[in-house]
Structure 1
Amino acid sequence: MIVSPHIPVLPSEVIQLAKIGNPTWILDATAGEGGHSSLLLDTFPEANLVMVDRDAVMLERAKKTMEGRGKVFPIRSNFSEIDRECLEEIGCPGLDFVLIDLGVSLYHFLHSGRGFTLKQEEPLDMRLEPQIGNRTAADIVNFSSVLELKRIFQEYGEERWALRIANQIIETRKKKKFTQNQEIVKLVESSIPRKFWPKDTHPATRIFQALRIEVNQELEHAEKGIRNLSGLLQENGIMACISFHSLEDRIVKWTFRDLQASGSFTVLTKKPLIPTDAEIRQNRASRSAKLRGIQKNVPIMCEDEES
């Protein structure tokens, strides 16, 4: 799902959750272009804001959005790698509010030149951290087995034509390796019969989603990040997670339930909060967003029994 720049998704719902804890230390775990960061400091101008993004380009854009604002601490990192030591380095004793927005910025699709888009010719890359040297989308389609490609397309794209598309990729790459995003677009278009194309999206959308998730290990980092950051919350601290498709929402839902089962947290949203019709009209990218929240419990203090 593409998130429009500078238009934070579910703004009033995010603030509704944040106000429960009246936060002093806020962490925007996926800063993007700074939309939610700006919203949070507008609401809590005295708060300290930690902005995190794994993409150095995006973190710079977020910093520009936040120029001249109060106490802002940018950290280039995957949010799943933030730990107590990172916070201690900036003098943070613990977090009162954490926001994890699992959407992908519109910038990546329009301006990054990394092959996220379906619309223009770009290298088949899709890395959110190109400086690290992880496998690219081209590496995956050029060197994965047919069964591995099928698994990726089914598991991360929920694509019913996964095996057929995987077979087409194997046959095509025997003649020429894939290097450009449009080569995958055209292959998917030719692999799925026209009468089975989705009505509202391009037929290659699910395949591109699957490749992006596999390249960046997005679902693994989502669960790891939720668990790690939940451990950095202060008593009564709140974590809010925004997801944009069923795979992400499932991870948020079950990880929150697991944390609640431990006895240390309370799920605040029995059902996910979703955008209003008015918000969807203003920002179409919000239409599939779901927000869930969880709060760290205050420990119950028991007096020692007399011997």
Structure 2
Amino acid sequence: MSGRARAKEPGPRNSLPGSRASEEATVAEEGSPDAAHVPVMLPRITELLAPAVQQPGSVVVDATLGLGGHAEALLEACPEARLIGVDRDQQALRRAGRRLARFGARFTPVHAVYDELTDVLADQGVGQVQGVLFDLGVSSLQLDEAERGFAYAHDAPLDMRMDQHSQGPTAADVLNTYSAGDLTRILREYGEERFASRIARAVVRARQERPFSDSGRLVQLLRDVIPAPSRRTGGHPAKRTFQALRIEVNAELDSLRRAIPAALGALAVGGRAVVLSYHSLEDRIVKRAFAAGASSTAPPGLPVELPEHRPELRLLIRAEAPAESEIDANPRAASARLRAVERIREGERGAGSGERRNVAKTFRHGGHGEECP
């Protein structure tokens, strides 16, 4: 793909530990308490999904499990529901598994990328689901751990892979091997960076002296290249470049374009899909998919709309933003936009990809635990 490599499928799936670690053990082993992570728009997401997953046998998928905050709330609010938690980050799965172990068999963690949803459900013997949640973008866990390379505030290896066990390219690989044209393209498309071409040329010059390996050097290059007036008014000069690299490394938008139709295709009538996005590129993909499903497909001029032309989805909300009070308490929520739909009839437009890829394996541990969005 002309300088672009899709990250390979997650590697061997290692089982999660069988014991339930205390919060103190979690802190000692892997950093700050997971309870400190604040899920964005938690009450509103639970309010939107809960009506669809109250019946016995209901299945809800948290396609971006993270540390399990949304999942925990859903499982508590919907005592009859089973939750399948999907994440490509094995460290996040381990920590969420400990947090949600108290829910026993109602929680199933799966190591996979969310565009593998069709395969995940088939592996679990699930035909249709009553709810799906996506909380897109980088997680607080990934941002807070400097060594992952996601945060420009810390000097760290330029990794940025959400699944560090994958064989896919790192951010350093992208910077050191992509042509100036390909770097310009991803900075412009994924970072909406005004100075994409200037930055790309500077990266190519700099790597001829020494390959990029750490984020500090990249941040300094960006400070030097981006004009001073833009640095003063456009936020941190590294913000857009780091976003673009992260999206490229993890093939986020390509995965999302496959995942949303698969999720909509898996919804039973009455089922709901809720998506929380953090930048316009993600939100645009979600908006278009939801709008297409909520529109009639009747040809112009047709005197009577046939049943098969009627919308399959009903829009529940449109680009809802967090309350100011939530943004004050959790500044990372500021750019969040929430969309939700409900399936109102069976249809074909939301069908997911029929071609199966490698089977996503379930993480098994003594007493499945999960959370509720």
Partner of 2:337: 290
Task: Provide the secondary structure at the position in 2 that maps to 1:52.
Answer: strand
Instruction: Name the CA distance, whole Å, in 1 between partners of 2:178 and 2:266.
Output: 38
Q: Does residue 35 in structure 1 map to residue 69 in structure 2? A: yes
Letter paired with 2:81: A
CA contact 2:53–2:60 (8 Å) conserved in 1: no
SS in 2 for 1:288: coil
Contact 2:273 2:341 in 1 (8 A): yes
Tell me, yes or no, if structure 1 residue 17 matches structure 2 residue 48: yes
The residue correspondences of 1:66-145 to structure 2 (distance < 5 A) are 66-70=100-104, 71-83=106-118, 85-111=119-145, 113-145=147-179
- Tell me, in whole angstroms, the C-alpha distance in 1 between the residues paired with 2:155 and 2:142: 14
69-78 vs 252-261, which deviates more?
252-261
Q: 1:288 to 1:248 in 2, by over 3 A?
A: same
Q: Judge conservation of contact 1:113–1:122 (CA < 8 Å) in 2.
A: yes
User: How has the CA–CA distance of structure 1 residues 112 and 119 changed in structure 2, closer, same or farther, with 3 Å as cutoff?
Assistant: closer
Hey, what's the Cα distance between the residues in 1 that align with 2:172 and 2:240?
16
| More deviation, 13-22/258-267 | 258-267
Give, in whole Å, the separation in 1 of the partners of 2:101 and 2:39. Answer: 18
Q: What residue number does 2:322 align with?
A: 275
Q: Distance in 1 between matches of 2:86 and 2:183?
A: 31
What SS does structure 2 have at the residue aligned with 1:272?
Answer: strand
Is the aligned partner of 1:238 residue 2:272?
yes
Report the Cα distance in structure 2 between the residues aligned to 1:28 and 1:12, rounded to whole angstroms: 15
Deviation, 1:297, is 1.7
In 2, Cα distance between equivalents of 1:52 and 1:125: 22
Q: Report if aligned partners of 1:5, 1:105 keep a CA contact under 8 Å in 2.
A: no
Percent of residue pairs identical: 36
Q: Helix, strand or coil: the match of 2:148? A: coil
How far apart in 2 are the matches of 1:33 and 1:56?
Answer: 11
In 1, the alpha carbon distance for the partners of 2:76 and 2:284 equals: 31
Q: Is the 8 A contact 1:265 1:294 kept in 2?
A: no
The residue that corresponds to 2:292 in the other structure is: 258
Residue type of the partner of 1:8? P
Q: Which runs of 5+ in 1 are unaligned?
A: 301-307
Q: Contact 2:64–2:134 at 8 Å: present in 1 too? A: yes
8 Å Cα contact 2:64-2:136 kept in structure 1: yes
Q: Which amino acid aligns with 2:43?
A: S
Greater relative CO, 1 or 2 (CA 8 Å, sep 6+): 2
What secondary structure is seen at the aligned counterpart in 2 of 1:271? strand
Q: Distance in 2 between matches of 1:165 and 1:299?
A: 48
Once the 2 structures are TM-superposed, how far is the Cα of residue 45 of structure 1 from its aligned partner? 2.0
How many residues are paired up?
A: 296
CA–CA distance in structure 1, aligned partners of residues 110 and 317 of structure 2: 32
- 2:269 and 2:277 map into 1 onto residues whose CA distance is 25
2:112 aligned partner, one-letter code: S
1:201, CA displacement in angstroms?
A: 2.9
Deviation at 1:234, TM superposition (A): 1.1
Q: Deviations over 1:175-225 (max 9, x none)?
A: 111111111101000001222215473111100000000110101111211
Structure 2 stretches lacking a partner, 5+ long: 1-34, 298-309, 348-373
1:148 corresponds in structure 2 to 182
Which amino acid is 1:292 matched to?
R
Aligned in 2, Cα 1:156/1:223: closer, same or farther, shift over 3 Å? same
How far 1:273 moved relative to its partner? 1.4
Per-residue deviation at 1:141? 0.9
**Which residue does 2:28 correspond to in 1?**
none
C-alpha displacement at 1:270, in angstroms? 5.2
Seen in structure 2, the aligned counterparts of structure 1 residues 135 and 299 have a Cα distance that, compared at 3 Å, is: closer
Which string of whole-angstrom CA distances, capped at 9 and with x for unpartnered residues, describes residues 3-30 of structure 1? x963221122212211342442111000
Match of residue 15 from structure 2: none
Which residue does 2:199 correspond to in 1? 165
Counterpart-to-counterpart distance in 2, 1:198 and 1:241: 33
Of the structure 1 ranges 224-233 and 85-94, higher mean CA displacement relative to structure 2 is found in 85-94
What letter is aligned with 2:111? R
CA contact (8 A) 1:55 1:76 kept: yes
Task: Please tell me whether the aligned partners of residues 247 and 253 of structure 2 are also in contact (alpha carbons under 8 angstroms).
Answer: yes
Cα distance in 1 for partners of 2:81, 2:134 equals 18
- Mapped to 2, the partners of 1:274 and 1:7 lie a distance apart of 16
1:305 aligned residue: none
SS at match of 1:231: helix
Separation in 2, partners of 1:40, 1:269: 18
User: Partners of 1:5 and 1:199 in 2: how far apart?
Assistant: 31
Q: 2:40 corresponds to which letter in structure 1? A: V
